Amino acid sequence: MKLIIQIPCLNEESTLPLTIRDIPRKIEGLSKVEILIIDDGSTDRTVDIAKQLGVDHIVRFPKNKGLAEAFKAGIDASLKLGADIIVNTDADNQYKGSDIPKLIAPILRGEYDMIVGDRKTDNIPHFSRTKKFFQRFGSSVVRKLSQTDVPDTTSGFRAYSRDAALRLNIVSEFTYTLETIIQAGHKKLAVGHVEIGTNGKLRESRLFKGITNYMRRSAKTIIRIYTMYRPMKVFVLAGAFSLIIGLLLGLRFLYFLASGSGNGHIQSLILAAVLMIIGFQLGTLGLIADLISNNRKLLEEALYRVRKIELSQPINMDDNYESNTQPIQGSKKQIS
């Protein structure tokens, strides 16, 4: 069994050494533990530091592409390198690397496909009350929409079995954390959680500019992903709401018409007609979107089978790989 720990990085020369040194390189039940760095267009010495620390594999982006793209590239590279389990952690040393054995244990036992680390955010001292509230509220929304019981849905410390990683199809350009849980829930993967520890805060988050920006972008991601998997429900509910409001306005107009003052409420009749038409159109769109969603599910299943066959054998050194200039521990590989 091979574990690859992937770490997305953006200008992490100061925090990366702390993160890597905390990662266990031998874990019971695993034959190999390797570290993969995804350099998301860093302009500092992140890559040089990673090489000096003995990182096994490096994926490099010449330009910053964002956390979601870095996560996708890491998953793809880990699968190509033959990972049986993939752990994702952050380069800012937020999570305790010593908790990795606990994180992957349920997957090793075959009980779960995906495990999310629960930080117990209410107990993190540097989280403000506002942030703690939105963490609880956002996680409750994602739990309901994904039909899972993950208490900390924004945690980036998580583990995936090989099969679960093969089934992931990230479309968000913001973050993977919410999308992967909603996807896993609707794909009927076994999603669990374990309590983990956290380290002290070393820097501000680079993912978002303030809580308002984070909430806005997270809401867009949640709505988009949920609509992909439950389009009929979303469109029919929206259409039903519009139709009901239209009917109520129509009944209001009929009431005034019956009382002899209908001429002064012709606007209600026009608005009622518009809302009922919109409601009908939304219902029709729901049917069309549901057909598209079913086709997408078939395509995802076909993609899963193709990827499974394509990645059945780990890659060897080829034209896409080159040795690090100064390998520290064993053979290192760099993915450009």
Q: How do residues 28-57 score in pLDDT, each as one tens digit?
A: 999 999 999 999 999 999 999 999 999 999
Interval 133-139 mean pLDDT: 86
Instruction: Tell me the Ramachandran region of residue 269: left when phi exceeds 0, alpha when psi lies from -120 to 50, beta otherwise.
Output: alpha
3 has pLDDT over 80: yes
pLDDT band at residue 207 using 50, 70 and 90 as cut-offs: low
pLDDT of residue 314: 67
Q: How do residues 56-101 score in pLDDT, each as one tens digit?
A: 999 999 999 988 999 999 999 999 999 999 999 999 999 999 999 9
| Range 232-255 burial, b when 16+ CB lie within 10 A, else e | bebbbebbeebbebbeebbeebee
The neighbouring-strand residues paired with 48 are none
Q: How do residues 91-109 score in pLDDT, each as one tens digit?
A: 999 999 999 999 999 999 9
Q: How far apart are the first and last CA of the chain?
A: 26
pLDDT of residue 325: 29
Minimal CA–CA distance to 333: which of 320, 316, 321?
Answer: 321
Global confidence as pTM: 0.81
Q: How do residues 280-329 score in pLDDT, each as one tens digit?
A: 999 999 999 999 989 988 999 999 999 888 887 766 533 333 333 233 33
Interval 111-129 mean pLDDT: 88
207 exposed, middle or buried (CB, 10 Å; 0-12, 13-18, 19+)?
middle
